[in-house]
Amino acid sequence: MVCCKTTIGFGSPNKSGSHDCHGAPLGDDEIAATRAFLNWPHAPFDIPEDVYQGWNAKSKGDIAELAWSTLFTAYQASYPELATEFTRRVIEEKLPEQFERKADQYINLCQKQGQNIASRKASQNAIEVYGSLLPELLGGSADLAGSNLTLWSGSKGISASDADGNYLFYGVREFGMSGIMNGLSLHGGFINYGGTFLMFMEYARNAVRMSALMGIQNIFVYTHDSIGQGEDGPTHQPIEQIANLRMTPNLTTWRPCDAVESAVAWKLAVQKQGGPSALIFSRQNLPHQARDTTQVKAIEKGGYTLVDLCGTPDAILIATGSEVGIAVDAAKALAEQGKKIRVVSMPSTTLFDQQSKAYQESVLPKQQ
């Protein structure tokens, strides 16, 4: 721990140490007094050459860039195909050409298998498949790897003695983890994901918001998504957190209802490079939902008709995540009473809001 004792507004003779210099300009007179106190005779925005050179990294950067350029030129001459792929993948930040095809194959396999598993386990299964395709995938968890299921068979921890890994054990520091993820994304070359319980996004809220403001790719994995997880009590049961995530501009929020939607959520989070994604998963097992090929593809639109009993509906049930199975059961029970019920699965309100009005109307008709 580094402890720094500071004085707010240091250098201002009349306002330092008070709230007066926090939320308002010092004013021309106080600025002049501060300059005199600090012995700073230079004009506004005039940086003395000795100070400038002490902070100027351009000369060092020019030397490093020249060394890199020379090295890469030699690499291109010796391995032209590999150099082209390196440029496409790392410098241009392109995904492997086979990623979407392989991801779609896996999504269709999940639909065929029809597993009733927790979506956190479905998330781990997706990481297992996608991780084998993405050497740039860098994972981590805030001391909850075993609960978030963010480790996969190819995970290797990074340590002080061995940096050749792809998984960071962040410790119990959700905000620190999310802030570090922001830095890694800004550095480039990685696709970040980091996990914690959904309730604990509260600790990381500012870093998540900054990720959205900066428009950088991060994948925030949040498990234990509801009161259904139970045993840790109300301190671990999220209520208002999902609404907060959904309302954050430029953050794509997903809450899948089964393994198929989980695989789609991961696919689109990997593909989204202009902002972060929040993937919200359950602790408890969730029932697999029957779908045709069109419905599987429609998951990418964020919301779609999952069950449509008896044509024009008397009512529409909209559900996400662990409540979709309950909504389907409710629709069946109401159908036995002669009601015509449609069930809409809405794993991502963010993406559904971006769809055309015609598509939105086809799923949620305003008039019957």
204/177 Cα distance (integer angstroms): 8
201/197 Cα distance (integer angstroms): 7
For residues 127 and 158, is the Cβ–Cβ distance under 8 A?
A: no
187/61 Cα distance (integer angstroms): 15
The token duo for 189 is 């070359």
Beta-carbon neighbour count of residue 314 at 10 Å? 13
For residues 259 and 117, is the Cβ–Cβ distance under 8 A?
A: yes
Find, among 310, 292, 317, 303, the residue nearest to 361 by Cα.
303
For residues 258 and 288, is the Cβ–Cβ distance under 8 A?
A: yes
Q: Which residues are tagged catalytic?
A: 174
266/282 Cα distance (integer angstroms): 15
Exposure b/e, 70-86, CB count within 10 A at least 16 = b: eeeeeeeeeeeeebeee
125/117 Cα distance (integer angstroms): 11
Of the CA atoms within 13 Å of residue 305, those in its CB half-sphere come to 18
Question: Is residue 20 classed exposed, middle or buried when 0-12, 13-18 and 19+ CB atoms within 10 A define those classes?
Answer: middle
The token duo for 19 is 């709230």
Alpha helices in 189-323 (DSSP H): 201-214, 241-247, 259-271, 293-298
Range 42-47, long-range pairs (CB < 8 A, 24+ positions): none
